[in-house]
A and B are shown apart, each in its own frame.
Chain A
Amino acid sequence: MVWLGERVEPALDEQKRKIVDEGIAKFNSDQTRLVDILLCIQNEMSMQYISKEVASYLSWKLDIPLSRTFDVISFYGALSDTPRGTFVVQYCDSVVCRLTGHTEIEARLVELLGVKPRETSKSGSVWLESVPCFGACDISPAIRINGVVYGRLTDVNKIEDALKRSGLLNSQIPGSLSNNRGEEQHV
């Protein structure tokens, strides 16, 4: 049945196309691996999100409807359809951390990073977001920076130290950020 017509290859710049092609190849073009594929691609994108162009191209390559790809991206908390940043800083907003005082860490992070939650920094390098429990309740207050967990951040110095260790904060001056892209932080 030809009533749907042939799909046209969506436009995508070369660099991003390469990332998508590699992501798909890693999982043998198996569309059932969509979740893993999207995570891999997102990790390689400088703003750590899946744009509509990327999603369109990926859907075309895997021969799945764009709506399905978008369904998956919008369903999962770890996938983003809006630009975030080179460094994604996550803090817990769940039951245990609220009890033990997460709001303080949120205030400290806003202060140190000079960004509000869910707003990319001017330099485009930092995105701050609250997330549900990531299983670090025993070392709370804890944050994740590009997937690496830093715990026991009971004072400002420890938070700053974590930001420095992640490569995010290279300066002593609070609120000032390095322009380093940073390397993949996944251990």
Chain B
Amino acid sequence: MSEIRYISENFDRYDGLSIGAYKALGGFEALKSARALNREEICTTLIHSGLQGRGGAAYGTGIKWQQALSVTGEDKVVICNADEGEPCTFKDRTLLEKDPYRIVEGMIIAGYAVNAKRGFIYLREEYWHLRKQIEHVLASCQQEGYLGEESGFQIELYSGAGAYVCGEGSSLIESMEGKSGRPRIKPPFIKEAGLFLKPTLVNNVETLACVTAIFQHGLDRFTSYGEGKSTGTKMISLAGHVNKPGTYEIAFGTPLRSIVEQLGGGIKNGGEVKFFQLGGASGRIGTKEQLDTAYTYEALSKAGLDVGSGGFLVADQSASVIAFIKSVQDFFIHESCGKCTPCREGNRQIGHIVDRWNRSEGREKDVETAKRFANIMKSCSFCGLGETAQSALLSAIKHFPEAFMLQEESR
């Protein structure tokens, strides 16, 4: 399977620092093409591309930008969400390390498209080691007039401080306002009242990289990849028991098996897949019987799986379903902001049940109770964290009922 180099075309072809080198590779041609269009045309181009947000929520980028453009306001803001807190997700890290100018170019295009003068990059604290590089990139862009007063667009770098929930748009904004990252009620939506209640557009790192690629190479090239409504390519973060974990670019439509075997080099020590989890810790799990599913929004949804953040965790026969579920549960207990009862208490109580399962001390009705609480969380939580925290558990009960029944039988 040949490597796709579209979003990642500049990887390892320059040092991620030199603006001259970036330009020599075609850098800023996308911005030039975008500026030749008017703002509405940029938005409709993206609508036609079929590009969906790459952070995990998969909202149509073109529509999002069109809505943002239609909001009136003097102080509109564009934010690059580089909080990448989803476990088993590091593709944004790779993009920022290897081709940071591409993301900045995407932000400048966004600023133009929605008529915003200020941009912000919210970089998770765990990527603190990338700050110097990003500051250098912003300074270089400033020097060459792509940013700064001349251009009418400025970008500032903010840091996260170790909170997964700040990957959620309104929590991120709360953090940028100097507060704890607890999500806001919507409406009002952040496109109308976001950062300091100004109209705000938040986009994921990879989404912005795709925008640049689309305007650099044209709509047709983007839509030449993919299948059905899942157009273009996707950055995948493959990890776990595979021989070659890493960030990979695939065309939508690639079968899961190819990703594991050809890109990932198969399972370590010739093992077999026991289960996999797509979309990070908040994703549903699948079994080896589902490996022939195509990686598209439609096919995965039909198979009860998610694209999500593009995370792809593979577990072999040595993995324990219960231990895995405990690791997911511990993560969400830690990361729940505590604001809403369904998530705060739901996670805590399900946590007690998972701990009992982990000690082989499951009680009668534990599975039933866990499922009931999980479904309450799914429908009633205040934000996506609570809504998706139990995706893994619910799918694990479905695929591995014996692992959960055993807990009750072994009493």
Interface residues of A (CB under 8 A from B): 30-36, 38-39, 68, 71-72, 75-79, 93-96, 98-100, 131-140, 144, 147-149, 186-187
Contact = CB atoms under 8 A, between A and B. Distances in A.
A138 B237 contact: yes
A68 B179 CA distance: 8
B128 interface: yes
Interface stretch (B48-56, B88-96, B225-233, B300-308): B88-96
A138 B159 contact: no
B127 interface: yes
A187 B84 CA distance: 19
Contacts of A132: 85, 87, 162, 164, 331, 334-335
A137 B94 CA distance: 12
B319 interface: yes
**Of residues A79, A135, A140, A147, which shows the largest number of chain B Cβ atoms within 10 Å of its Cβ?**
A135
Q: Which 8 A-B pairs have the closest CB atoms?
A: A77-B162, A78-B162, A76-B161, A34-B178, A134-B126, A75-B180, A137-B239, A133-B87
Interface in B74-105: 84-90, 93
A136 B162 contact: no
A29 to B, nearest CB: 12
Nearest to B268: A100
B340 interface: no
B127 to A, nearest CB: 7
B181 A75 contact: yes
B319 A137 contact: no
B90 A35 contact: no
A30 B178 CA distance: 9
A78 B162 CA distance: 5
B341 interface: no
23 contacts: A35-B158, A35-B176, A39-B125, A39-B161, A72-B180, A76-B125, A77-B161, A77-B163, A95-B87, A95-B324, A96-B88, A99-B327, A131-B126, A131-B162, A132-B331, A132-B335, A133-B281, A133-B331, A134-B126, A137-B237, A138-B90, A138-B246, A149-B129
A137 B88 contact: yes
B155 interface: no
Interface in B160-209: 160-164, 175-181, 196
B315 interface: yes
B126 A99 contact: no
Interface in B253-304: 277, 281
A135 B127 contact: yes
